């Protein structure tokens, strides 16, 4: 028969509730520190050049501070360029371009911010599927341009499209009455064709915009005007031959090139 002890159980010093909580907190702290270290190591291993900031300009260009699946605003891209330019932890910038172009005004706004960034650190363009028209206008201002062999680029030019559905409207019995203050006020209305004077004026605007565009591009890139004046789309491999781009390569190649430019400045 066991006789119950009349003596209380002995308590080992340091094993009370407060001591247990202290050790629990220490263990949690150590685990947190280990997780942080592994996270930092993972990020560094995943980013070959952590000093290179990649900014994406994807979709049709328009003015404004926005981004969507198929378009991007000039302020949105420009703000990122300026922020990277002013960030002391960023050595160089890669602008990843995948855009068919868009508004000349949007391109001009982005170019202003790109030039600001370029005054502080290298800016390299990496072209994806497409970098045409206004998207090439922006790209031409970078320090270096990379494209894939089958990237579609070029298409240097300006286009303004007008639609006339007056024939269909007449068939359906639609009538439109316009009261206007000037002869050109309803220019571009779909309810009628352009007048000869309106068409001449539209052509004047397109020509002036195109001259600004092609003069800037040929100055930035030292390209022969005759190679691009017809507005055709050009493959990346062919673009290299006429100095539209500098090198063939993907985004990683562009990142390497941007880091090399940054290292050369130090």
Q: Please, are residues 126 and 251 in contact by the beta-carbon 8 Å criterion?
A: yes
The span from the CA of 138 to the CA of 109, in Å, is 9
Q: Is 199 helix (H, G, I), strand (E, B) or coil?
A: helix
Give the relative orientation of helices 104-118 and 196-221 as an angle to the nearest 10 degrees: 20
Count how many residues are written for the chain.
Answer: 266
**Alpha carbon separation from 236 to 97, 141, 153 (Å, rounded):** 13, 17, 7
Q: How far apart are CA 183 and CA 186, in angstroms?
A: 8
DSSP conformation letters of 87-103: -TT--EEEEEEEE--B-
Whether residue 246 contacts residue 146, with contact meaning beta carbons closer than 8 Å, is answered with yes
Residue 132 CA to residue 168 CA, distance in Å, equals 34
From 74, 126, 133, 189, the catalytic residue: 133
Residue 39 designated active-site = no
Q: Is 185 one of the annotated active-site residues of the chain? A: yes
Those residues whose C-beta lies under 8 Å from the C-beta of residue 107, and which sit 6 or more positions away, are 61, 74, 101, 134, 135, 137, 138
Out of 39, 163, 180, 185, the active site residue is 185
Structural contact between residues 253 and 116, judged by C-beta atoms closer than 8 angstroms: no
Supply the residues annotated as catalytic: 133, 185
């Amino acid at each position: 028969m066991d006789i119950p002890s009349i003596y209380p159980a002995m308590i080992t010093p340091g094993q009370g509730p407060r001591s247990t909580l202290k050790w629990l907190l220490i263990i949690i702290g150590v685990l947190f520190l280990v997780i942080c270290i592994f996270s930092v190591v993972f990020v560094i291993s995943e980013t070959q050049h952590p000093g290179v900031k990649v900014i994406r300009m994807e979709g049709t260009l328009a003015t404004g501070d926005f981004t969507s699946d198929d378009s991007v605003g000039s302020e949105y891209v420009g703000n990122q360029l300026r922020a990277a330019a002013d960030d002391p932890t960023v050595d160089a910038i890669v602008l990843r371009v995948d855009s068919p172009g868009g508004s000349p005004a949007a391109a001009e706004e982005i170019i202003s911010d790109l030039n600001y960034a370029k005054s502080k650190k290298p800016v390299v363009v990496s072209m994806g599927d497409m970098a045409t028209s206004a998207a090439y206008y922006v790209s031409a201002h970078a320090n270096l341009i990379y494209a894939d062999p089958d990237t579609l680029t070029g298409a240097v030019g300006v286009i303004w499209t007008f639609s006339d559905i007056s024939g269909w409207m007449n068939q359906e019995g639609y009538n439109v009455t316009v009261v206007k203050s000037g002869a050109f006020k309803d220019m571009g209305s779909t309810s009628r064709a352009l007048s000869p004077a309106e068409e001449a004026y539209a052509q004047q605007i397109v020509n002036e915009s195109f001259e600004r565009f092609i003069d800037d591009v040929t100055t930035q890139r030292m390209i022969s005007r005759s190679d691009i004046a017809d507005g055709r789309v050009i493959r990346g491999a062919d673009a290299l031959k006429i100095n539209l781009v500098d090198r063939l390569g993907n985004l990683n190649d562009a990142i390497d090139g941007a880091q090399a430019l940054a290292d050369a400045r130090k």
